[in-house]
Amino acid sequence: MNYAAVSGEYYWYQHGNVWEKERLSEFTPRAVLDTRSRYRTMLPEEEYENGHILTSKSVKKLMDEGVSVNMGAHGQLQGLGAHWEIWMLTQGGMTNHQALQAATINSATSLGLDKWIGSLETGKLADLIVMDKNPLDDIHNTESIKYTMVNGRLFDAATMNEIGNYNRPRSKFFWEMNKNADSFPWHDGTNEEEETCTCGKH
């Protein structure tokens, strides 16, 4: 779903302190997280009513007429867009269950992959998430992910360590290694007291 000129993501940045999400900050460098979430575009509510919410209502009408609606997200910080897309579908009038179908079995069917993914059935790939809270009660509970399973491999969502059949801690992200790429050695010297230029000749 492609939202109007002011995309729906602006709504969620405006209506929540994204930089305070502990899970997100665990897996995203502060320089990336803060830049987009702390410097927010603030708009009057009618801009959203006449923008993505109106689009969501149109999508609900299409669904009522038998059109298959799929969730799709891209570009937002570390998966935020997937949650926001689901939430926006409910802003247009879909039930929580209908929005979750758009994110799972409908999307799998549209890709021709519903024989393998999209629902929990014997014989399908074990790609799933386990939540602490029920999204049928509150659609925002889609963020309460405790475990993620990819093709039968179980991961702790809080740490991304592989657990279950194996005990494999995740490897470090590049920003956790405290080592810059060799192609930019001048980064390592930025805290030196002696003033030098980046060319290395002075």
Task: Convert the pLDDT of each residue in 132-150 to its tens digit.
Answer: 999 999 999 999 999 999 9
Does 29 fall in a domain?
yes
Angle made by CA atoms 30, 33, 34, in degrees to the nearest 5: 80
Pairing state between β 153-156 and 128-131: unpaired
Q: What is the pLDDT of residue 189?
A: 45
Does 132 fall in a domain?
yes
Number of alpha carbons in the 13 Å side-chain half-sphere of residue 140? 4
**H helical segments located in the chain:** 9-14, 22-26, 30-37, 45-49, 52-64, 80-91, 96-103, 105-110
Q: What is the pLDDT of residue 148?
A: 95
Q: What is the pLDDT of residue 5?
A: 55
The torsion region of residue 169 among left (phi > 0), alpha (psi -120 to 50) and beta comes to beta
Structure tokens at 194: 């002696």
Q: What is the pLDDT of residue 179?
A: 62
- Give yes or no: residues 107 and 11 share one domain: yes
Query: What values do phi and psi take at 150, rounded to 5?
Result: -120, 110
List CB contacts of 29: < 8 A, sequence separation 6 or more.
Answer: 173, 175
- The pTM (predicted TM-score) of the whole model is 0.81
Three-state DSSP class for residue 86 = helix
Indicate the number of domains in the chain.
2
- Give yes or no: residues 56 and 105 share one domain: yes
- For CA atoms 196, 175, 15, 94, the dihedral sign is positive
- Give yes or no: residues 57 and 12 share one domain: yes
Residues of the chain with pLDDT under 50: 1-4, 186-194
Q: What is the pLDDT of residue 200?
A: 55
Q: What is the pLDDT of residue 76?
A: 72
Q: Which domain holds residue 50?
A: 1-112
- CB neighbours of residue 159 within 10 Å: 12
Q: What is the pLDDT of residue 141?
A: 97
DSSP 117: S
The type of residue at 86 is: I
Does 120 fall in a domain?
no
- Give yes or no: residues 139 and 59 share one domain: no
